[in-house]
């Protein structure tokens, strides 16, 4: 008989309520992936074609795997690595499934490294906005300001350092004491600001063209690259495939209905992505800017909006503050599993573990910083270090990790175990999707890309 390992201490913390978990999970999912990455990804991959494929992947693959990750965490009450080991042994399977947790940890570390760099831009532009630096500047001047900003490695490194420090301060204090308090106030405010931006885009931008760009369907734009990008973004924005949601699941009370809760979180996540597109693209077309101008899209188009508002310094400051908090809650989600792995496996205090993770991710992020200036010419198959840092985890590791979690929850864990975690009214459809549709969908995409 296989002995189930119990030496690793279980996670004791719990979210204080169902609402606290919804806000925390939404805060984890809603971040730069929606507000920064979605507009430029949609612009790069054909707008409506990308949006349609993205929504399909969220529905048939993202939701089932999110439920799978959360139930793995809630069932075990452990970090992702030890959760997989414990549950595998509970179902009479090999403890080597823990390697899936380590693969996820690698993805989390890589994402955190470039995420901090990009989030640091928010800190810088928050200060620029409150200093009223954008007021009455024309689009060309704002674009040049952005280029000059990226050309200074020391400034980028400084903002990267500040954001990483902010993230680790919260993580060191614990999830319940920091994340809950922030998300209860910041997430609702984020939606309010996005609606304000959409209203402004409707009033002063080319809303008709932006709307049609995002929602008009053109089947000719659906290519393998669009499908792969949409799949990678679905995992990136929903914080799936690396075990981060499993870590949050370890804090979920037993009385929380996973099906309804996950649907709410995913809906709120997709809503932010769509609102961001509706706020960005009308302004892009109104000022004749290319919709695929890369990750700097948010830091060019938003200041263009603010430059024509007399109160732009205040609204802009509020926008970048909320962008900062959206990134902040997501980065905590990235760091939390890594910190808990160190505390539970090495017996480190949370503060020391946070310092180690923070310094490691900070050091890796230096490569992304320099790829915009001094190392800009260093490329591998046309990709900069920043491109590789984003593409490797989001387009490859996360989908493969999602495949692993789907197989684990659908085929490795005993049916009697998963039945206790997933609501009975959705169990059959969830089990079908997580056993067949999600794995096959991921495999088909990767095979077609070869």
Domain residue spans in the chain?
18-449
Query: How is 292-337 classified by DSSP, letter by letter?
Result: T--GGGHHHHHHHHHHT-TTHHHHHHHHHHHHHHHHHHHHHHHHHH
Alpha carbons 417 and 76: distance in angstroms, whole number: 11
Per-residue pLDDT of 21-63, as tens digits, reads 898 899 888 887 787 678 777 877 888 888 889 999 999 988 9
Three-class DSSP labels, 123-179: HHHHHHHHCCCCCCCCHHHHHHHHHHHHHCHHHHHHHHHHHHHHHHHHHHHCHHHHH
Cβ–Cβ under 8 Å, residues 368 and 71: no
What pLDDT, on the 0 to 100 scale, is given for residue 51? 87
* Residue for token pair 């978990």: 21
Radius of gyration of the chain (CA): 21
Alpha carbons 150 and 249: distance in angstroms, whole number: 38
pLDDT above 70: percentage of residues in the chain: 94
Answer whether 0.75 is exceeded by the pTM: yes
Alpha carbons 420 and 63: distance in angstroms, whole number: 18
Per-residue pLDDT of 219-276, as tens digits, reads 788 888 888 888 877 777 788 889 999 999 999 988 889 999 999 999 999 899 899 8
Using CB atoms within 10 Å of the CB of residue 158, give its burial: 0 to 12 exposed, 13 to 18 middle, 19+ buried.
Answer: middle
Residue 303 token pair: 């200041």
Q: For the structural domain made of 18-449, what CATH number should be given?
A: 1.20.1740.10
């Amino acid at each position: 008989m296989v002995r189930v390992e119990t030496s690793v201490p279980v996670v004791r913390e719990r979210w204080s309520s169902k609402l606290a978990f919804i806000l925390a999970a939404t805060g984890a999912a809603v971040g730069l992936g929606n507000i920064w990455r979605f507009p430029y990804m949609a612009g790069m991959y054909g707008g409506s074609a990308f949006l349609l494929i993205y929504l399909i992947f969220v529905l048939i693959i993202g939701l089932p795997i999110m439920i799978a990750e959360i139930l793995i965490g809630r069932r075990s009450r452990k970090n992702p690595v030890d959760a997989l080991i414990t549950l595998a042994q509970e179902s009479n399977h090999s403890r080597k499934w823990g390697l899936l947790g380590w693969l996820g940890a690698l993805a989390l570390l890589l994402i955190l490294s470039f995420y901090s760099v990009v989030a640091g831009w928010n800190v810088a532009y928050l200060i620029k906005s409150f200093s009223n630096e954008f007021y009455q500047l024309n689009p060309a001047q704002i674009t040049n300001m952005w280029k000059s900003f990226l050309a200074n490695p020391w400034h980028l490194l400084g903002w990267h350092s500040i954001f990483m420090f902010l993230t680790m301060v919260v993580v060191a204090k614990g999830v319940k004491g920091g994340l809950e308090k922030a998300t209860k106030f910041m997430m609702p405010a984020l939606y309010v600001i996005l609606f304000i931006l959409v209203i402004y885009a409707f009033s002063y931008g080319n809303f008709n063209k932006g709307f049609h760009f995002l929602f008009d369907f053109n089947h000719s734009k659906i290519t393998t690259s669009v499908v792969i990008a949409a799949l990678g973004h679905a995992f990136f924005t929903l914080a799936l495939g690396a075990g981060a949601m499993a870590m949050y699941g370890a804090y979920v009370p037993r009385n929380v209905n996973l099906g309804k809760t996950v649907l709410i979180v995913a809906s709120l996540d997709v809503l932010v992505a769509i609102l961001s597109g509706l706020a960005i693209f009308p302004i892009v077309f109104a000022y004749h800017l290319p919709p695929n101008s890369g990750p700097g899209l948010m830091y060019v188009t938003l200041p263009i909006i603010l430059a024509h508002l007399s109160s732009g310094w205040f609204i802009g400051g509020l926008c970048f503050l909320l962008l900062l908090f959206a990134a902040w809650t997501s980065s905590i989600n990235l760091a939390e599993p890594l910190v808990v792995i160190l505390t539970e496996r090495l017996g480190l205090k949370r503060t020391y573990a946070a310092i180690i993770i923070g310094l490691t991710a900070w050091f890796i992020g230096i490569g992304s910083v320099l790829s915009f200036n001094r190392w800009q010419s260093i490329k591998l198959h046309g990709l900069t270090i920043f491109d590789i840092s984003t593409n490797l985890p989001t387009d490859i590791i996360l989908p493969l990790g999602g495949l692993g979690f789907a197989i684990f929850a659908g085929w490795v864990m005993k049916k009697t175990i998963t039945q206790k975690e997933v609501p009975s009214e959705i169990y059959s459809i969830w089990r079908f999707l997580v056993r067949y549709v999600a794995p096959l969908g991921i495999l088909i995409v990767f095979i077609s890309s070869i």
